[in-house]
Structure 1
C-alpha cells in the first residue's frame, strides 16, 4: 500500500513538472534561509562556551550614574578591583585581567605592527585555549615571554619550531627580545577573546587608583554563589576602600557620579549591548540583528508554505476525476489524506536536500554579509541536524495538511461531472496572498528606507574635503622628525599639503564661564590641518607657527563648543583645565565638521597646538595625477625617516566609508530578503491565478461568446489580483512606518519617512504582481470558448 502511495505520488509530480519545480524551488529557498539563520543563531549563542569553566566566569563591569539620573556603562576596570575583591571575598576563587595593546615588531630588517594582549600569568588556568606547542600554564611567568597563535607563529617563523626563539618588540622606544614559550591553536570563531600574541602583564607598575579604567577584569566565582549578594558585597568593599579617592575626585575635580560595579556572565557577554567590547574583547553583537534575520527567514518559509497550499489547491481541479474514481471504487478519505500528505513529504524532502546544497553554495556569501566565518562542518552539529529535521517534518505537515483535507473531501459525483465548486469566494487563498504581499511590501519599504538612509549618510556634507587625502598611521613617531618629513614631501609637486593630528579620540572636560563644566573632544593639530581639509574659520584666526603663544596658551573651538558654552562673543574667552591649572584663550572659531561617524551627534571640539603632544596620524593631500608614483614616494620617504615604524596607510574617504560598513551589510541583507520574498510571493500569486482561471473557465467562455474582448477579460481577471495587492499595501503601511521610524531613531542624522516611499513600494509590488498573473490571465482570455462550454 505504502509503495503504491509513493508510486502514485511520483507519477503526479512527474506529470506536473512545472508546478513541482515551482513548489520545490519555493520550499528549498525557504528552508535554506531557515538553515542559514539556524546556523547564525547557533553561532551567536555558542560564544565562549568552549571554556571549561565558562559558567563560573564573570566579567566585572562598572556603572556611572550621573546627577541627572543618566547611567554610563563601561566594561573596563583598573588594576585594583580584581585583587582587592579576591582578597576579601571567599566566593571569588580567582581573577585575571587582560588589556589590548599593539607592538612594533622587528624581524630582520622589516618592521610590523603586531596586535597583542597583555594578561596576568594565570590567564590559561581561567580560560581554555589549547596549546599546540609548549606549556601554556607557565608561559606568562617570565616578564619577557610571549605566547603566539598558530598563524602568527607561522608568519614569523615559517615551519620552524618557534619554542625558545625570540622576537624583538619595541618597549619604551627600545627593541627588547621576548622568548616564545608556547603556541596555541587559532582562537575559535565564537570567542570574545581572540589571541594573536599574548604577553605577561607588568606587575611592577600597579595602578592603585580605583577610578582608572583601561582593561577587562574577569572573576572566577565559586559554584552555587548568589550573584546578587556577591554584587552587593563587591560594592560595599568598593565604597569603603575607595572612599578617600572618591572624596578627592569630588573636591578637586567636581566629580559627582555615583560609581558601582556589576557582574556580567561570560556566557551572556557576546549579545549584551549595555557594555562595549573593548580593551581586548571583540565581536560584540546586537541580538536585534538575530531577531531581524530570524524574522526574514520565517517570513520566507511561511510564504513558501503558503505557496504550497495555494499551488496544490490550484491543481486540485485537475485531479478531481482521479479523486472521484478513487472514492467510487471504495477509497477511504484517510487513504486520500495519506496519499496527499505523502506527496507533500516527498516534495519537502526533495526541497530539503536542495536546500542543503543551496546552503553550501551561498555560505561564503552569507559569511560576508553577516561578518561571520561559519563552516559547512557546523551544519553537522547534533542540535542543528535535529532542528533541520524538525523544520522538514513541520514544513511537510503544514504545507500538505490543509490541501489533503480539502482534496479528500471532494464529492465523487460532482468530481466526475466536473462540477466541483470548491473554493467559492476562495477567502483563504486570497487571505494568504494578502499576507504574502503584506510581508513583501513591508520588506520593500524597509529596503527603500535603509537605502535612503545609507545614501544620506554617504553623501552627507561632512564640512570638510577628504578627497585624495592619504591617512598614515604614525603611532610612536618621533615628533621632532615630522617637520623634516613634511618638508621633503612638499618638494614633490604632486603632494599638495601635509599635516598631522594626535590620532584616536581624546575626550576630556574643563571649566568655562568661571566654573561651568563642559565636556569635549580635544584634538592636537598643526597649523596646516584645517587648510588641508578645507575647514573654514568662521571667526577669529587659525593657528600660526610664527606666534609663540599659539603653541602655549591659544586654542580653537568649533561652533558646537561655542553653543554649549553659551558664548555670544567667543574670541578671547578662557578655557580653564582646572585639574592641572592650565588656562587657554580662544583665538578662533572653527566651522562645525563631522570628524566622527554620523551615527553619533557632533560633539564640542577644542583644538590645540601644544608641542609636547605626540602625533598619531599624518595626512597627505595628493593630486589626481600619478597617484601610484606619489604613493610610492610617500612610502619611501616615510621608511627613510621612520625606519622602525610600520608603514600603513588608507585613503581618508575609504576610512569614512568603513564607519558605515554595518549599514551597508544590512542594506544588502534586507534587500536580498525582499527579493526572495517577492519572488516566492509571485509564485503563490501564479498559483492563485491558475486556480482562478480554472474556476472561471466557463464564465470566461460565456463572456467571449457574448462579445467580450480579450483586453476586457484580462482587465477583469487582473483587477481582482490588483485589489489584493493594494489591500496588502494598506495593511503593511502603518506597520512598516512604525518599524522604520523606530530604526531611524538610532541615527541623529536621518532621512524623513514620506508617503513617496510607500507609493513606490506599492507601485512596484503591484507591477510585479500584474506581470506575474498576466501569463495565466492572457492564456485564459485567448482560449477557445468551445472547449470550456461543450459539456453544457
Structure 2
C-alpha cells in the first residue's frame, strides 16, 4: 500500500511538472532558510558550554549602588585583588583566573609587529578546558618569562608547530626580552568567548596584593570556579562581606579623596550567560559578544519564509484540485475510502517535502560561506552531526510535510463523486481561507520590505551624516608614549613632503576622568590631550572664545577647551573664564578659554559626551593625525612610512584612513542590511508563487463566466481588470495589518540609536507601490492568458 502511494505520488508530481517545480522551489528555499537559522541559533546558545566545569564557572561582576539603593551602573571588570581575596577567605571558591588583553611589540627577525597578547594566571588550563597539545598545563604559565602559543601562531612565528623551548622576543617597557615557549595549545573553539593566540603569565607582586586600593584599580576579567552544590546567593553575600571588611579603610579614603558616594557590590554571572548578555557584555579581551535579538529576528525571517512556502503548497494544491476532481470521483466510486485518499495526498506532500529537504541541504552547503560572512560566523555542515540538531531537522521535515499537506488532503478527499464525474463540481464558498493566506503572505512580505527600507535608511543616515569634522584624506598612525620632542620632530620630518598638508597630535584611545566645577559639582568627561593644530586640521570650529595657541606657554598649563555638551551639563551660560578644578591632582586649576562645537569623534551609536581638551605637558600623545592632499595616497604613505621607521625603528608601523575606520563602526548595520534584503526578496518571491496559484484557481473557477463575457463583447482589458482587482484588494488589505506592526517594530529598533533617521510616509508609500506592482505583474500573466482564451472552448467546459 505504501509503495503504491509512493508511485502514485511520483506520477502526479511528474504529470504536473510546473506546479511541482514551483512547490519544490518554494519549500527548498523555506527549508534552507530554516536550516541556516537553526545552525546560527545552535551556535549562539552553545557558546562556552564545552568547558568541563561550565556549570560551576562564573565571572565576577559588580553593581554601583547609590545611597538610596538604586543601581547606577554595572561593571564586568575587576582589579588584582578580587580573585585571590575571595579564594583565600571563601572555601566555596576553589580557584580563580584573571584575564585581560594588551598590545605588545613582538620581534620576528628584524621585523617588529604589534600583537594582541593575553595575560592570565597559571591556573588557566586547570579551570578552562582548552587542550594543551604540548607542555604541562599545570606549569606552562608559572615562570615569569614563559609563553604559550596556539598551533597557528607557532607555525606563523617559527615555521613549525614543534616550538617548545624556542625563544620569542617581546618588548617589555623599553627593551625586548626573551620569552620561552612552554606550551602549544589547540586553536580556541569557534563558540568560545575566550580566544587567544598568545598567552603570558600575569605577574602580581606582593606589594600590589598588599595595596588595598587595588580593589579599585579595575581593568581585567576575573573568573571563579565554585564547589559543587554552592548556593550562589550565599556566596555573593560572603564576597561582599570580605570586600567591605578588607577594603574598609581604602573605601573611606577613596570617598574622601574623590567624593564618591556610591557603594560597589559584587555578584556572580554564570559563565555561559556572557555571550548573549545585554546588561553585562563581553569586554576587555573577551570576544564575540552577541544579542539574543539577532537570533529572534533571524528566526522570525526563517519562520516567515517557511510559513509562506507551506501556504503556497496549500494554494497551489487547491488551484489544481479541479483538474483532479474526476480522479477523486473514480477512486471513490470503485471503493476508495476518504482515509485512503487522505493518506495518498499526505504521501504526495511528504514525497515533495523529502525532495525539497534534500535540495535544501545542497542549497545550505552552497550558501553557507555567504551566510557566514553576513552573520560573522564560521558555521559548517559538520554541526549537522549533532544528535539534537538531526532530531530538530527531522521534526522540521515532519512538521513542514504535515502543515503543507493536511488541509489540501482533507479538502480533496471530501469531493462528491457524482458531481465530479458529471462535471457539475465547483469548489464551494468564497475561498476565505485561501484569500486570508494571501493577505497573511503579503502582510509578512510588506513587513519585511518596511524593515529593510528602514535599515537601509538608518545605514545611509549613519554613513552620510555630517560628523562635525573632516575625515577625508586623513591618515592616523599610533605611537604609544609619544613625547613632545618626538612629536615635534615627527611633524617637521613629515611636512618636508609637499603632499602632507598638516600634522596634529592627540592621545590614543579614549581617556575619561572627572573634575570639579561650580565649586562643588563633579562632572565626568572624555579627557583629550591635543596640540594647537588638532582642531584646525580636523576643521572642528571653536564657537566661543579661542583655540589653543602654540605661542602662549600658559595654554599648556592653565587653559582648557570644552565642548558644547560639557557646557550644557555644567549649566554654564557664560563658559569663557569658568574654572575646572582637578582637585585630586594637588588642586590643579584650569580656565576655559574656548568652546568647541560638538562633533561625533566616536561612532553615531554613542551619544556625544562632555569633552575637555588640554595641552598638559605631562600627558603624552599616542596618535598622529596626518592630512594629505587629495590623490596623493601612494606618495604620502611611502613618505610617512619612511619617516616613521627612521625615527622609531623598533616600533610597529600601522596606518589607517580615518574615513574607512568610521565606516567600520557600522559593519553590523551593513550586514543586517544585506540579511534583511535577502529575507525580503525571498519572502516576496515565494509570496508571488502563492499569488500565482490563487490566480490560477480563480481563472479555472470562472472559465465559463469569462467565455460568456467575451461573447457579450467584453474587452481583454476589462477581463484582465476583473480578474486582477480581487487580488489587488487582498494586497491592499494586507497593508492594514502590516503597516501598524512594522511602524511599531521599526521605531523600537531605532530607539537603540541616539542619532537616527525618521520613519517617514515615503517608506510606506514605496512599500505599497512595490508590493502592488509585484502583485499585479504576478497576476496579470494568468489574467491575460484567460482573457485571450477562445470563448467557444471556455463555454464547452461544462
Range class of TM-score, shorter chain: over 0.9
**Match for residue 506 of structure 2 among 489, 498, 501:** 501
**Match for residue 774 of structure 2 among 768, 773, 780:** 768
Written as runs of structure 1 = structure 2, the 5 A alignment for 1:505-654 is 505-580=510-585, 581-654=587-660
Instruction: Give the conservation status (yes or no) of the 8 Å contact 1:315–1:691.
Output: yes
Question: Whole-Å Cα distance in 2 between the matches of residues 232 and 672 of structure 1?
Answer: 50
The residue aligned with 2:402 is 397
Written as runs of structure 1 = structure 2, the 5 A alignment for 1:274-293 is 274-293=279-298
Partner SS for 2:204: coil
Partner SS for 1:343: helix
Deviations 1:358-396 (A, max 9, x none): 110111111111111112212222211111111011101
Question: Whole-Å Cα distance in 2 between the matches of residues 389 and 476 of structure 1?
Answer: 60
Question: Whole-Å Cα distance in 1 between the matches of residues 28 and 510 of structure 2?
Answer: 49
The residue aligned with 1:54 is 54
Instruction: Give the conservation status (yes or no) of the 8 Å contact 1:187–1:195.
Output: yes
Partner SS for 1:51: coil
The residue aligned with 1:721 is 727
* CA positional deviation for 1:229: 1.6
The residue aligned with 1:208 is 212
The residue aligned with 1:140 is 141
Instruction: Give the conservation status (yes or no) of the 8 Å contact 1:79–1:208.
Output: no
Instruction: Give the conservation status (yes or no) of the 8 Å contact 2:473–2:628.
Output: yes
Deviations 1:279-307 (A, max 9, x none): 22111111011111111111111111111
Deviations 1:292-342 (A, max 9, x none): 111111111111111111111111111111111111111111111111111
* CA positional deviation for 1:258: 2.5
Question: Whole-Å Cα distance in 1 between the matches of residues 187 and 666 of structure 2?
Answer: 29
Partner SS for 2:480: coil
The residue aligned with 1:78 is 79
Q: CA RMSD in A?
A: 1.3
1:425 aligns with 2:426: no
Question: Whole-Å Cα distance in 2 between the matches of residues 237 and 280 of structure 1?
Answer: 27
Question: Whole-Å Cα distance in 1 between the matches of residues 102 and 669 of structure 2?
Answer: 28
* CA positional deviation for 1:423: 4.4
Question: Whole-Å Cα distance in 1 between the matches of residues 312 and 796 of structure 2?
Answer: 32
**Match for residue 683 of structure 1 among 675, 679, 689:** 689
The residue aligned with 1:475 is 480
The residue aligned with 1:157 is 158
Question: Whole-Å Cα distance in 1 between the matches of residues 381 and 650 of structure 2?
Answer: 42
The residue aligned with 2:415 is 410
* CA positional deviation for 1:755: 2.1
Instruction: Give the conservation status (yes or no) of the 8 Å contact 1:574–1:583.
Output: yes
The worse-fitting range, judged by mean Cα deviation, of 121-130 and 477-486 is: 477-486
1:337 aligns with 2:329: no
Instruction: Give the conservation status (yes or no) of the 8 Å contact 1:56–1:223.
Output: yes
Instruction: Give the conservation status (yes or no) of the 8 Å contact 1:78–1:215.
Output: yes
The residue aligned with 1:489 is 494
1:259 aligns with 2:267: no
Instruction: Give the conservation status (yes or no) of the 8 Å contact 2:274–2:281.
Output: no
Instruction: Give the conservation status (yes or no) of the 8 Å contact 2:353–2:400.
Output: yes
Partner SS for 1:169: strand
Instruction: Give the conservation status (yes or no) of the 8 Å contact 1:470–1:650.
Output: yes
Deviations 1:393-418 (A, max 9, x none): 11011101111111011111111122
Instruction: Give the conservation status (yes or no) of the 8 Å contact 2:716–2:788.
Output: yes
The residue aligned with 1:7 is 7
Written as runs of structure 1 = structure 2, the 5 A alignment for 1:742-757 is 742-757=748-763
Instruction: Give the conservation status (yes or no) of the 8 Å contact 2:161–2:184.
Output: no
Instruction: Give the conservation status (yes or no) of the 8 Å contact 2:122–2:139.
Output: yes
Q: TM-score, normalised on structure 1?
A: 0.98
Partner SS for 1:526: coil
Seen in structure 2, the aligned counterparts of structure 1 residues 160 and 413 have a Cα distance that, compared at 3 Å, is: closer
Partner SS for 1:474: strand
Instruction: Give the conservation status (yes or no) of the 8 Å contact 1:433–1:685.
Output: yes
Question: Whole-Å Cα distance in 2 between the matches of residues 449 and 703 of structure 1?
Answer: 45
**Match for residue 795 of structure 2 among 758, 783, 789:** 789
The residue aligned with 1:243 is 248
Deviations 1:586-605 (A, max 9, x none): 11111111111111211110
Instruction: Give the conservation status (yes or no) of the 8 Å contact 2:131–2:185.
Output: yes
Instruction: Give the conservation status (yes or no) of the 8 Å contact 1:573–1:585.
Output: yes
Question: Whole-Å Cα distance in 2 between the matches of residues 449 and 258 of structure 1?
Answer: 42
Partner SS for 1:187: coil
The residue aligned with 1:34 is 34
Instruction: Give the conservation status (yes or no) of the 8 Å contact 2:63–2:71.
Output: no
1:699 aligns with 2:700: no
Question: Whole-Å Cα distance in 1 between the matches of residues 651 and 67 of structure 2?
Answer: 45
The worse-fitting range, judged by mean Cα deviation, of 14-23 and 205-214 is: 205-214
The residue aligned with 2:19 is 19
1:225 aligns with 2:230: yes
Written as runs of structure 1 = structure 2, the 5 A alignment for 1:95-174 is 95-159=96-160, 161-174=162-175
The residue aligned with 2:200 is 199
Instruction: Give the conservation status (yes or no) of the 8 Å contact 1:476–1:645.
Output: no
Seen in structure 2, the aligned counterparts of structure 1 residues 614 and 276 have a Cα distance that, compared at 3 Å, is: farther
Seen in structure 2, the aligned counterparts of structure 1 residues 541 and 332 have a Cα distance that, compared at 3 Å, is: same
Q: How many residues are matched?
A: 792
Partner SS for 2:775: helix
Seen in structure 2, the aligned counterparts of structure 1 residues 160 and 458 have a Cα distance that, compared at 3 Å, is: closer
1:673 aligns with 2:673: no
Partner SS for 1:620: strand
The worse-fitting range, judged by mean Cα deviation, of 65-74 and 334-343 is: 65-74
Question: Whole-Å Cα distance in 2 between the matches of residues 733 and 10 of structure 1?
Answer: 42
1:457 aligns with 2:458: no
Question: Whole-Å Cα distance in 1 between the matches of residues 487 and 721 of structure 2?
Answer: 75
* CA positional deviation for 1:731: 0.8
1:324 aligns with 2:329: yes
Question: Whole-Å Cα distance in 2 between the matches of residues 700 and 652 of structure 1?
Answer: 66
Instruction: Give the conservation status (yes or no) of the 8 Å contact 1:82–1:217.
Output: yes
Partner SS for 2:95: strand
The residue aligned with 1:184 is 185
Partner SS for 1:466: coil
Instruction: Give the conservation status (yes or no) of the 8 Å contact 2:499–2:635.
Output: no
The worse-fitting range, judged by mean Cα deviation, of 472-481 and 536-545 is: 472-481
* CA positional deviation for 1:241: 2.1
Question: Whole-Å Cα distance in 2 between the matches of residues 377 and 595 of structure 1?
Answer: 43
